[in-house]
Structure 1
Amino acid sequence: MSKNGGLQSEDFDSSLHDSINIELNATTLRDHLSNVSSRPPRPDSPFFKPSRVKKATLIKSISTPNGTHVETREERILRSQSGATDEFEKKSSVIGTIANLINCIVGAGIVGIPYALNKTGLLTGLILIFSVALLTDKSLRLLIETGKHASVQSYETLMEAAFGRPGFVFISINMFLMSYGAMVAYLLVLKDTIPTAVFGIPDTDHQGKSFVLLVSSLAIILPLAMQRDMADLAKTSTLSVVFDLIMVVIVSLCSPVKESLESIGGVQALTSWDYNFRPSTLFVGLGVLSFAFVCQDSSFIIAGSLKRPTKERWGTVTRSSLLTCALLATLIGLTGFLGFPDDTQGNILNNFINSDTKNKIAYGFLPVEKATTIARTLVGMTMFTVYPLASYVARHVLVVLLFQGRQAHEGDDHTVLARRDRRVILTLGLYLAAIAPAIMFNDTGIVLAITGAVAGSCLSYIGPGAVYLGIHGQYFLENIACWDVSSSEQALLMNYPTKIRRPGMLSSYLGSDDSVGLIATMFTMFLWYSSLMPLWCFIAKLGKDNFEKQQMEQLEKSPVPNRRLGKIINHSKQGGISQKSDKQDQIYPTSQPFVATMPLRKAHSLDNKPVTLEDQPLLANTSTLIPPSGHNKATYGTNSDSTYASTDDEFVEDDPQDGTPSVADYLLAISYILLGIIALCAGLVSITQP
């Protein structure tokens, strides 16, 4: 290698085992970047097709065996101005991710929690709040852990791994319906709160309210929705959580609990059966609570925005977020229902707009009318921050469905939306599609209710349960095949896994699996069909076949350059296919994890010199780093702790679902599917009720 005062390069056709050594200083960088900026602009690719690889210059190196080179502020500014490389995807801390998840969950649904308790009964509603929160927490962790196990990065590709293209399209459509319905709902809430609470526009002046909605959404909502990365909303989400907390406190203080209890006969009346359990409207309240906690459609997006989303860190995010939401729901639900027991409206704030409460002073110092006006204003302000989160999900669905290329298909929004024209057109199109019905109509309740009943049930319960059963279908079918079922009984059992059947213990003692009587046959058939085994075996068989096919296809592809959820090491095998995240992991089969793929701009140098790459289109964005000769391939590039980090954003950890699933795991997955079906049917039935 010779030096000429400029950037140094090396023949990349030689073995990647050779070291890449290039020196770069600030003066050389400025000279080089000025040359880059003087080149003719790269022609843009068609809108829906992948962008052509742009020539990039790496100027940032991280830790090396013999030292560290940190990119200076001047170097970063010059690189940004030259357009030599795209900016990294921004990541959130644990606190910022918790704020984003709480913001996704709370939204506008928190004002309807007292109405849900009115339909379920007080004690039943409080139990259901924490039950739904617990189920949501488990489903969020189940989705991400199953995604890590299957080595996929989005909800859609996880469903595709289990159920092929139909599963991909099915969950994508439900994600879009849920997020689009939320966008319209948030704009409607904004239309009903800010114009009246802030500007004093009467509720009957629909034209004035629509004008305020249009201007405020263009000035605040649209710029926030134009951001590329969800991590950019961490601060606004934190502010929104504070607004929600203040609003809940106001409702709790202003609610006329004392007067209400006196009118119904005191606290003793609350012990009656009617106030604690209302079976006739139970499912209506359950539906409201279930849909109020729906956030699974954004689970992969939020988890991917977290710095190093390990199993433990993601568990901290979900537990903290759901516990906070459950406590807020309990506080506003309890005080709201006790303040207006049988008169509780769908929006608890509307209960305060009447002659009985507007002139009252709560606790001798808090004017109820002014306090509730502040609460309505805070609810409207939170809509400015929750709308962009729903817009991100809807935009993500459009990316995976409409754009071509592997990165778009696997949900890499960061790469696809790096082009500003794509980001602007998609975001603006979604905004126009949502603002139109919000301006034209005042109540789209039936449309939003149907959307929530269908999409919410599929995303929250049916999807997580079915995908777990499908991804782990091999073990499920093997366990079913161990049952002692005679060949004559097998002919009567639909979808019984006969091809992988292994003899059971009873059969080995009896010497023949046909030595069963008529009563035993009838009992076996009753258990088989009453437990819906034909359905579960069908889902498991379909998932098993598709997952094996997907794993074989992944082995034929080049490694994924960026894994937003990190990389996993699976020490076991399923279906004869290694579950390691990349093909290179099989090149050096060791018991220790080995980082095979990482972004070149953050890659560790092979010596103490900064890494710089120039004019290498195939390796401009990523590089496959294989340890050079003389290094221990099993431990090269790893840390001393249990999580092996390759970069700030990528890391390697043990497969969270390594090993054989237990019976309890399968029962939980089946329970999710059944709960989703019940919630779906109950939601649709409740909509048709007067």
Structure 2
Amino acid sequence: MSPAARVQVPLLPNHKLRSRASVSGAVFNVSTSIIGAGIMSIPATLKVLGVIPAFVMIVIIACLANISVEILMRFTHAGDSTTYAGVMRESFGRVGSVAVQICIMITNLGCLIIYLIIIGDVLSGNQPGGLAHLGVLQEWFGIHWWNSRAFSLLFIVVFVMLPLVLLRRVESLKFSSAISVLLALVFVGICSVMAISALVEGKTKTPRLLPQLNNHTSFFDLFTAVPVIVTAFTFHFNVHPIGFELNKPSDMILAVRISLVLCAAIYFTIGLFGYLLFGDSIMADILVNFDRSSGSAVGSLLNDIVRLSYALHLMLVFPLLNFSLRVNIDELLFSKKPILAKDTTRFLSITFVLLAFSYLAAIFIPDIWTFFQFLGSTSAVSLALIFPGAIVLRDVHGISTTKDRITALVMIILAVVTSAIAISTNIVSFFGNNS
């Protein structure tokens, strides 16, 4: 089977599906794909941008994400492909499809490793710079071999993640995704209650409505927040797997819009209340703030619930990102083979290799945040904005309007300029701090 023909075949043929997926299931799967670990970095962007610019930027990026998904779905159904890589192949040939596949592999594999690192930190702690931070299991039961990082992560991988990643339909993950969204809401709810309580007691500082430029924050630092928000709204790798299990394209558009509104509200809520709770001491990863002693039994319990709820949330996000990663790796390496869903040996082999690699990377590379911050400014931004914009400008099906082309140019310019400035600023900051 040729690569061109292979991308025209749905992930699972229609006659193999006993029932079509539901819009509600798609909403949960899309929302889970969006939230991921992005929720943890949003509060820090409010510290950089200020409340008003951050709110405006969240709304703008959510709107652009909605437009880019509409573009992908419209050009998908105008052609013969049923995957993101296939749509890019129709527009830019083999180079286009490989570019998408590499970006998805970088983005998703990086996220899977980071998820396991976070889960390991929550359960078994870490030692950044030699300073020990105990995990929840160690705080509760003391330090033992069975709650060490390697063993606790192995238990989670085998008994929680493995059964979920072996499912062959995205729709099958709708219940775990629903629980994942609920856990994210628990995370936001507890943060909100803690922030409101601190506000009533007068322990919070008034958040900055606008950015404050000083010796520590330059104008160019403001651009570093944009790729963070774009990355937090990057779910385009799952648009086709989720969309092609629905009855019609309009169902996917509806599911995406509901999910974007829900996730934008979650992002701004956690950003505002997280900023109120911790002020300028808020870290790039808000979970680090909850790792500090609260000074009371109730506060410590709430801190543990926040950390555990988010760790459980990430365990249930993991299978969704693994799903699209597995399909794209298969499409890149085995383009002439039958579709992955029909080949059990290949399906299991790729699944086990990915799971084992993610686990080992999370154990032996405990700090890869800086590395993937740079990748997030390139691969995630490309998937969310640059590639959809390029598809519109290429317009191989002749369906782009003037409005489409203007929007596409805005998306590409915004992505390229902000990413270039963010990467440059991060490089200067990194070498400045290490000099």
- TM-score range, shorter-chain basis? 0.7 to 0.9
Structure 2 distance, partners of 1:218, 1:401, is: 27
1:680 and 2:419 matched: yes
Aligned pairs for 1:435-584 within 5 A: 435-471=359-395, 544=396
Aligned pairs for 1:188-337 within 5 A: 188-195=117-124, 196-198=135-137, 200=139, 208-255=148-195, 257-258=198-199, 264=205, 267=206, 270=208, 274=212, 279-306=219-246, 308-311=247-250, 313-337=251-275
Structure 2 distance, partners of 1:419, 1:673, is: 38
**TM-score of the pair, normalised by structure 2:** 0.85
* Matching residue of 2:129: none
Structure having the higher helix fraction is 2
Contact persistence 2:26–2:252 (CA under 8 A): no
- 1:388 offset after TM fit, Å? 0.8
- 1:435 offset after TM fit, Å? 1.1
Q: Give the direction of change, closer, same or farther, for the CA distance of 1:325–1:278 in structure 2 (3 Å limit).
A: farther
Structure 1 portions without partners, runs of 5+ = 1-49, 51-84, 361-366, 409-414, 472-543, 548-573, 575-656
Structure 2 distance, partners of 1:423, 1:141, is: 30
* Matching residue of 1:635: none
Structure 2 portions without partners, runs of 5+ = 1-5, 7-13, 125-134, 431-435
Q: Which has the larger Rg?
A: 1
* Matching residue of 1:383: 314
Contact persistence 1:120–1:279 (CA under 8 A): no
Structure 1 distance, partners of 2:170, 2:60, is: 29
Q: Deviations over 1:171-195 (max 9, x none)?
A: 1111111111111111111111234
SS in 2 for 1:305: coil
* Matching residue of 2:290: 352
* Matching residue of 1:392: 323
Counterpart of 2:26 (choices 97, 115, 119) is: 97
Q: Give the direction of change, closer, same or farther, for the CA distance of 1:676–1:197 in structure 2 (3 Å limit).
A: same
Structure 2 distance, partners of 1:197, 1:309, is: 45
Contact persistence 2:224–2:419 (CA under 8 A): no
Q: Give the direction of change, closer, same or farther, for the CA distance of 1:348–1:322 in structure 2 (3 Å limit).
A: same
Contact persistence 2:220–2:421 (CA under 8 A): no
Aligned pairs for 1:7-156 within 5 A: 87-88=16-17, 91-156=20-85
- 1:404 offset after TM fit, Å? 3.9
**TM-score of the pair, normalised by structure 1:** 0.55
Q: Deviations over 1:234-283 (max 9, x none)?
A: 1100111111101100011113642796665xx5x7457639x9734211
* Matching residue of 2:10: none
Relative contact order: is structure 1 or structure 2 higher (C-alpha 8 Å, sep ≥ 6)?
Answer: 2
Q: How many residues are matched?
A: 403
Structure 1 distance, partners of 2:36, 2:314, is: 7
Q: Give the direction of change, closer, same or farther, for the CA distance of 1:404–1:168 in structure 2 (3 Å limit).
A: closer
Contact persistence 2:243–2:249 (CA under 8 A): no
Q: Give the direction of change, closer, same or farther, for the CA distance of 1:186–1:352 in structure 2 (3 Å limit).
A: closer
Q: Deviations over 1:337-380 (max 9, x none)?
A: 1222211112223223334x3417xxxxxx22111211111111
Contact persistence 1:100–1:234 (CA under 8 A): yes
Q: Give the direction of change, closer, same or farther, for the CA distance of 1:292–1:204 in structure 2 (3 Å limit).
A: farther
* Matching residue of 2:301: 370
Give, as a single letter, the amino acid of the residue that structure 1 aligns with 2:426: I
Contact persistence 1:176–1:397 (CA under 8 A): yes
* Matching residue of 2:350: 426
Structure 1 distance, partners of 2:310, 2:91, is: 40
- 1:97 offset after TM fit, Å? 0.4
- 1:197 offset after TM fit, Å? 2.4
Counterpart of 1:342 (choices 276, 280, 287) is: 280
- 1:685 offset after TM fit, Å? 2.0
Contact persistence 2:29–2:177 (CA under 8 A): yes
- 1:109 offset after TM fit, Å? 1.5
Structure 1 distance, partners of 2:347, 2:138, is: 33
Structure 1 distance, partners of 2:209, 2:93, is: 52
> Deviation above 3 Å: which 4+ runs of structure 1?
198-207, 259-264, 269-273, 277-280
